[in-house]
Chain A
């Protein structure tokens, strides 16, 4: 399930979502520019951040589990198909993927959907109503996908109770037809719910939209300095 936000009062929870979004995006760039040693350092940092945010390691592992086949495929692809590759060289792209997922997990663990939405709207504000529209759609899509995953689980169980094995074309049709039908109906119902709660395109998002504090501005400057150092060393 995608839903991972957990209410808390850690230092990371208290940082402004815009700062967290910027720093996470910046960290993504660092991950791609780092070699084995720096990746090791980033791994230590991610564990420290998880500790600060009071996120159990089991939660982090849970986010990685569904991707394990992809990791294995990337590793084998690099090991077998890249000329002159070694085990270490093949492990580097996997480590990058893992770190990206873990940093994003920490962001999503400490930032609620509305906070993320507010941050996204802040960055897309120069695009006007179009920008806030996009940010809102991203938020609604995330909510909708979560519901879709739950629906898939329910439908699989319901069809299993009718003796359906989730295999082959029949199994696929038995899943996809009810899933499509439910999704279309839910999309309709969601739009009714949105409109019934007075949604309009000129909406101002402000409940989670706080002023950037001095602490946040310092953090952004420190991060930028570290980034420059990181790249130049």
Chain B
């Protein structure tokens, strides 16, 4: 169905793909993996003519993507669900977003309704049809993006790290749906770092140094426990201190994000918070970091209210998006200077922070924008550590990193254990279990479990026996 012959592609001064040959057969389910920056997204964009090759050619159903007259037919055949759920919303409501593509391909009005209903039902989000997309969680938005592409019924769907923002439970459901689409004849190309996302693939190719290496599914270190654990959340848990939070309280678009949360985070430990889409993880992080005031109740850190940048720091999702200085040194020293520290103290803290995250001091003079994804993430981490806040909240710190970079970030967190209290928020349960001493589980804004890792695993096992 898709044939890439000797395809090369370069961004200015940055060759990405070199002499790629790949044949994707109709009805195939193919996985693509590779390190950050290896050219996976570039490959995806070449498949439906969003990018055109510098050399070689990409043929879709016998049509070249370089032929402008064929582009619409090619995009009708190959749909892409991209990585960032926020940047793909075209309509205001979920319905409008799906209608956009269907109007483009000329689906009759009577059928548009059926297709919207069918896709939303398949993804289990029928109740979201008239909801405003911008008020949905990242995972829900991604399901809507998937529905919008599914509704067009392309012959091939490319998932460009599209599942990375989903929790394991939703990811498992979506993978089942993708398998179903594939059984019905849709060709699937799934780009992922997480081996769990590649389990159904007929074959997996990896991109290294701009070239494709063939792999077998058996070569992927599949870890199924992550998925199983998520589906067996403990049911109940005690509540000690109440904090609630409602967004836009008293208005039509009021959203109750957290309901009666009672959580004790012990000093000096790494505490993990897990939960599915829209569970309220990020809201809880904002509250603990003192960036948002709770609607009712209060949060204290060592008996004092949270002061962002003072007694608590927070590493946001994709923290590299917030860089603004032209060197790593300036980026790290920015927060320190705003604290009014002396030059010597600033230099000492920068040196220490770089050491703690395992970054070479040579990078200090480089632009943070020119670092690799892993180095950028560690630099952002160093910015927070250097301020010595005592408590650090990490919101999905390994999201969208390749396994090598992910390991480095987790190692840096482990090195800090004991020195600072860390709250590790993630939908990757295995990461949280690997690194945390205590676990808290949120479900739809409610704390359903809080306890030690052992207690959590015991409950999971007990629930498994009941099932």
Contacts and interface: CB of A to CB of B under 8 A. Distances in A.
B93 A5 contact: yes
Contact of A198 (B76, B91, B145, B250): B76
A159 B105 CA distance: 43
B440 interface: no
B67 interface: no
Nearest to B84: A189
A177 to B, nearest CB: 3
B2 to A, nearest CB: 15
B149 interface: yes
B410 interface: no
B258 interface: no
Given A3-B92, A5-B93, A197-B148, A161 B339 contact: no
Contacts of A217: none
Interface stretch (B94-102, B172-180, B200-208): B94-102
B104 A197 contact: yes
A178 interface: yes
- Tier of interface size on chain B: 35 or more
A178 B322 contact: yes
Contacts of A204: 103, 106
Interface of B: 45, 48, 50, 72, 75-76, 79-80, 82, 84, 86-93, 96, 99-106, 109, 112, 130, 132, 134-135, 145, 148-149, 152, 250-253, 286, 289, 291-292, 308-310, 312-316, 319, 321-324, 334-336, 338-339, 383-384, 387
A140 B90 CA distance: 7
Interface string A196-225: 111110011111100000000000000000
Contacts, number: 173
Contacts of A170: 334, 338
B105 A150 contact: no
A194 B82 CA distance: 11
A62 B308 contact: no
Interface of A: 1, 3, 5-7, 55-56, 58-59, 62, 112-114, 140, 143, 146-147, 150, 154-155, 157-165, 170, 173-174, 176-178, 181-182, 185-186, 189-190, 192-200, 203-208
Contacts of B76: 198
Contact of A199 (B104, B149, B336, B387): B104
Contacts of A146: 134
B430 to A, nearest CB: 26
B45 A192 contact: yes
Contact of B132 (A5, A162, A181, A190): A5
B86 A56 contact: no
Contacts of A208: 99
A106 to B, nearest CB: 13
A3 B101 CA distance: 22
B96 A163 contact: no
A52 to B, nearest CB: 16
Given A5-B132, A147-B134, A163-B339, A196 B99 contact: no
A1 B145 CA distance: 22
Given A147-B89, A174-B334, A200-B104, 19 more contacts: A58-B250, A59-B252, A112-B92, A113-B96, A114-B92, A140-B90, A143-B92, A150-B86, A150-B134, A158-B314, A161-B291, A161-B309, A163-B336, A164-B309, A164-B335, A190-B87, A197-B100, A203-B104, A204-B106
Nearest to A175: B324
A154 B339 CA distance: 22
A204 to B, nearest CB: 7
Given A193-B87, A195-B75, A162 B383 contact: yes
A110 to B, nearest CB: 12
A197 B148 CA distance: 8
A46 B100 CA distance: 33
A199 to B, nearest CB: 6
Nearest to B135: A3
Contacts of A6: 252-253
A114 B99 CA distance: 9
A173 B324 contact: yes
A16 to B, nearest CB: 16
A7 to B, nearest CB: 4
A5 B292 CA distance: 25
Nearest to A164: B338
Contacts of B334: 162, 164, 170, 174
A207 B112 contact: yes
A55 B253 CA distance: 12
Q: Identify the 5 closest CB pairs spanning chains A and B, nearest first.
A: A163-B309, A177-B324, A189-B87, A197-B101, A113-B92
A59 B251 contact: yes
A140 to B, nearest CB: 7
Contact of B335 (A147, A150, A162, A176): A162
Given A56-B252, A196-B50, A203 B335 contact: no
